[in-house]
Amino acid sequence: MKIAVGQMSVSNDKDTNLSTIEELVSQAFEAGAKLICFPECCMYSSVDDTESFANIAEPLSGPFVSALKRFANLYSICIVAGIFESSVDANRVYNTVVVIDENGQIKDPYRKIHLYDAFGTKESERVIAGDGNTLVFQAGNLTFGVMTCYDLRFPELARFLAFQGAQVILLPAAWRPGPMKESHLEILTRARAIENNLYMVVAAQVGVNCCGNSMVVDPMGVIQSSVANNECILVTEVRRERIDEVREVSPTLQNRRTDLYARWRDTNQRWYEDVSSEA
């Protein structure tokens, strides 16, 4: 199955961003892709880290998602894209990924679970964390899971998606540049692929605050295709046969010691509570 990554520079103008998205969707369609994944928050971007997104956010029935649904139906392609979704909170929004099938029908959204309260940034001041509902869906002959950007640093989510049957994990991202940050993106993406015997697909923003580096990593951790920091599509073939081959020779999911994990979990919970009480 051919899939595409739409690496793009996201502006503070929604209409401009939609025009860019449609152009990249058109290119993916011409290349024969059946799915295209866009970055986190491709609805809107600002260089001001204190700007509220409350006035920018839209419901899932709003004009931005409606436009994505039209594109998906027009080009008969599945579209995965990050938006700011409005909430009942007057000051905070959801950092949401929507999946729209080739008929223009939207699936249940994924709301980012792990908020980027790190490296001097406090995403939780502007964004509400998701309630833990995950998103796994079928496209073509493959099962896809979804994570968002900072989620990559938490192996539990990728493993849970693998348990739910994910063979490909899509990671819309707006990864910040900085010392070791680009290296972390590659290392962690390859690690998630290796430890779960699946494909990892990073769709990243480029621009002032984002480093790009979109990539597709195969289940053995090999970078199958990648792009640095230019706006473009990246089209790659992902094969179910490759997943099966790797799971045959490196059966990490089958070799887990589930007889030990419950005991470790209980110990970890006590340790976590002790650390939290000291903080």
The set of catalytic residues is 40, 112, 149
Locate all alpha helices (DSSP H) within the chain, ordered by sequence. 14-30, 63-75, 155-163, 181-196, 240-249, 258-278
Residue 150 in contact with residue 111, Cβ under 8 Å? Answer: no
Burial of 178 (C-beta count, 10 Å sphere; 0-12/13-18/19+)? exposed
| Cβ neighbours of 98 (radius 10 Å) | 25
Residue 221 in contact with residue 191, Cβ under 8 Å? Answer: yes
Cα 118 from Cα 150, distance rounded (Å): 9
**How far, in Å, are 26, 148, 188, 191, 278 from residue 184 at the CA level?**
32, 15, 6, 10, 29
Total H helices, total E strands in the chain: 6, 14
> Which residues share a beta bridge with 94?
85, 128
Q: For residue 231, which of 6, 3, 2 has the smallest C-alpha distance?
A: 6
The type of residue at 20 is T
The type of residue at 165 is G
Residue 205 in contact with residue 230, Cβ under 8 Å? Answer: no
Q: What are phi and psi of 214, to 5 degrees?
A: -60, 150
